[in-house]
Structure 1
Amino acid sequence: MAPPRPSAYRKSLGRDKGKDTLYIVSAESRQLKEAEKDQMKKLNNRLVNYVDKVHDLEMTNRMLAAENQKLRKISKTEDVNVAEIYDDELKRLRERVEELQTANAELEIEKDNIHYELQEVIVKLDSANEENKDLTKEVKSLSKDVDDATIERVSLEAKIENLQEALQLEKQVHAAEMENLRRQVQPVEAPVLQAEQPSILPDLNDAIQKVRKQYEAFNAKSIEDLDAFYKEKVESLTKQLKAANEEIRDLRVDNAEKRKLIHQLEMELEALRGKNDGYERNLEAVEDRHARELADYQDKLVHMQGDLEGAKQDIGKYLKDYQDLNSLKLSLEQEIAIYNKILMGEESRIAVIDTKAVLIANDSHRSSRSSSKSSSKSSSRHSSPDRSTSDIVEEMLEKDGKEQSTGVISVSWKVKGGTVRPVKPFHPISDAEQLHKAMKGIGTDEGVITDILSNRTKAQRFVIAKHYEEKYNKVLLKELESELSGDYLTTVQHLMWRKSVLDAHALRKAIKGFGTDEAVLIEILCTQSSKEIANIKQDYQEVFERNLEKDIESETSGSFKKFLVAILGADRPADSGTVVSNLAEADAKVLFELGVKQWSPSHDRFLEIFTQRSYQHLWYLFKQCWPKLTNEDLIESIEKGCPKDLVRGLKTLIRYSTCIPPLYYAIQINESLTGKGTEEKLLTYIVTTRSEVDLIDVKEEFERIYHVKVEKRIEAETSGNYKKILLALLD
């Protein structure tokens, strides 16, 4: 407590306490008294004005209530509960939104079914075209075989005719030869010789007869052989001709059947084409109708959202007016109570001083000193001389504020938001085409990639990736990974991944292999809400098919393992904007009585406070309640006395909770840019994950603390396309 300052009423010489004492009221004390009287008059005037305002407000309130009651009696209407009307309207709007979402889902399903049928028709059409091509090729090959068989038949017929002509010629030659031979073998009339004259020539008739017989036999045999040969030849040619004719007839029949089948397939193809055209027209009509209905639903949704925002603003305005009136009422009641207390003390003190001043003017110097001393004693009983009136008012205000405290403290801060906002109008197909052109051919246009990805929200990037895969049958992220490299590629991956998937990859990398990167585990798990931790665990299970809690339990040990497992339980409440001060003060007392050296996960209450309290609750605990218990710096106490394996985790948790998020991440960015080198991973993680949340506030906090813009620091510490995409996200 501060030492009392000297009294404003100077004490003079006097007698003993039990006898009459003399006081002299100087000009300085009189001026002080008059100044206090003027101040009291002003305070009284203010009090009267406040009282008049309160009376006027009460009268107006009564008049309005009476008029309202009168109007209700006239109209015979009951009291209207605005909250119920608002809740009913909100419930109706939510049901309408759910209906619209259901209708949208049904339309999506119908669209997918039609698309699936169209794909089936296209597949059938392609198979029919392939079969038609095969049949056409087969018909062409068969036509060639028919032509070859026809040519062979014609050649065989020509050969037969030539053979017949040769046979006829051979017959004629044979006949001529036989005629010549017959002529040669005719008997010649020999001259009659005298009997008595013996002939000198041999008798050749018998020889000629023998030769003739032999020749005739040979001729007959040769004719028979020739006839048999030609007959056999003719029969074989006839059989070949008959087989060729049968084959030609079969080919003609087969060709006719193939032509019928081709004609039938062409008719079916035309029918399928017509059906395909009809499906395409129906699909276009359905897409147009779906687009129109979606636009109508979106317009209705925007209109409903506008109405909802208007209703929220109206309710907020009414609530603010009510809170202002309530706070005004409380302040007036406090001031009235304060002024009543002041008036009771000051009136008695001023009345005593005025009475003694009159006695000083009429009585002697002795009676003047006596009255001065008595007035000093009287004033000392009502008001302490070492405090002014304003000190007394402030003390009473604090006392009344403590007496009227409800125990619920509002803890919230306004956030301007992120630098990346949704683009309107949004054309995902055009963006997908531009990205494809940027990666097509030799080289990559990183400027187009930076311009598109840094100016679209994560949800819009997912839509672009979906259209890219549908149009080019390729995964956008894999195409980007094949074209990019280094820190620029890492930034693009951060922009294309969900934050929970990004954190899951970081945790897996920190756990996997030899040793554990505890800094990554602490930075991610100690700065996430319960919902975010649940999403990380789910994505970790889906991506790596492993359980995150079991992996952390197997890679950590001791109290650090218990601390992380308790955080992974995801029992931390969400920040609601209010804190129950009594509970925060009780938690602070428990931690203080426990002692920093005894902070350990083996204590259930320690785990409950650090893992099952909201960040705003911890903010109030460490910023408001803890300093009332001790003057020691909490972070220094943790570094000195807390178990070593918990120091970094507790420091991170306390720093994150005692700083608002923009301030915390501004400090993190500065730490990543200071030192010998730049921590690109930390810098990339903060810029990409906060770009849609509160990066504007992070930039302002950075400039407020370090008196330089974060863009200049990043521009000086980075280079190339990595610098360009970071600056684009910060713009």
Structure 2
Amino acid sequence: MSYAMDTVGSPFRRNMDSRTTGYGYSRSDSIPPSGFRSQSRSRASPGATVTSSYKRSKNMPVSRMYSSTVHSSGDSVDYGQTSMLNGHYRRANEKEQLQGLNDRFVVYIDKVHYLEQQNKQIEEEIHALRQKQVSRSELGNDYDQELQELRSMLEQIHHDKVQIQLDTDHIEEDIQRLRDRFEEEARIREETEALIRVLMKDTGDSELVKSELDKKVQSLQDEIAFIRNNHEEEVSDLIAQIQASQVTVERKDLQKTDITEALREIRYELEGHSNQNLQQVENWFICRFSKLTEAAEQNKDAIKSTRDEITDYRRQLQSKTVELESIRGTRDSLERQLNDIEDRHNSDLSSLQETIHQLDNELKSTKWEMARHLREYQDLLNVKMALHIEIAAYRKLLDGEETHLSTFPYRHATVHYKFVEEIIEETKVEDKKSDIDEALAEMAQELSGTLGGGEDEGDEQGENETTDREDGEGSDEGD
């Protein structure tokens, strides 16, 4: 990047060079160690064109120098404005350079302090080394002792390392054993939790059965109380009937009979009947309860078997649901793949249809171009036939001229020479035309496959006509 001071003339440049040398630093010194570079802006001013042309004129010829000076004299230059701009840029550049020098000075001061500290440390180390050199024999003994201590420490460290390695192996074995035990305990816990869940379900079922049995016992107790009440009512009715059916007897008989004994017997009899009925009811209740318990046990086994079946069905249902989810996932992925394939197929089909349409258009254009070429070829053949006829007529005329001018040998020779040149040129033209005809015929044969049946027949007829005409022309030329 160029400074703005380069855009001024040589006297101003010499002045600025003297000022910069007075400061005692150059542009390379103004670069701070941080990588910061002072940059100056250069604007395209009329003075720039003048000074640039002046600089280039040093290495130019005289004519180019004169033209550049004439061109610069024609432009209007504002030297005051350029000097102000250059002064502004110079002051900015000097500020940047001073800032860079200040930064470098700070860095140098820090570096001097750091080097002083390093020198102090090095001097202390040198002093310590000198003191050690004084007692070299003592240092040897200390070195041997320290070496012995280090060897013993190394052996101890090696022993500790071996011991730590053994402890590590034992700890790893213990960890593996504890891991296996943990896995076994986790498995047992899972089995226990599953058994607890099953037992909880059995407990719930047993509670339901117990509640049903309690209801049945309550109903049986109610039935027993009802039967007992009925029995007491019957006994009271019988006692009332017995008391009502007593016959009036004589006083003698009343004195002789012991009413209390009769009542006692009746009471004993009624108590026997009541005990017998109670025993029958208890026996019936015990039988009924045993039957119900047996039915409950049977139902419990059936419930357990049904519960096992339900768990199996649940497992099967879970496995089937997992399979169903996996199948659904595969179905979704296949549907996505199918949609992608259909999209690609549709895009490929549309692109192929576009290419087919383009090829159809190209085929139509080639057919039209082929028809045009055939028409041009037909026109060329007609022109060729007309030219052959004219050539034959000219030959006849030339033959007549030769016979007429046979008395003049020199003119005859020149005419004969010109006639030979014309024949050579005509043969060259005919060779070129024959090459063109062959190329057109090959093109017609290549494009005849793309045309229709009618066009193929027309092309064959046209080719036959052209071949017939060429044969006729060849026979005419031979004649």
Same fold flag (TM > 0.5): no
**Rg comparison, structure with higher value:** 2
TM-score, normalised via structure 1 length: 0.20
Structure with more contact order per residue of length (Cα contacts < 8 Å, sep ≥ 6): 1
Relative to total residues, which structure has the larger helix share, 1 or 2?
2
TM-score, normalised via structure 2 length: 0.30
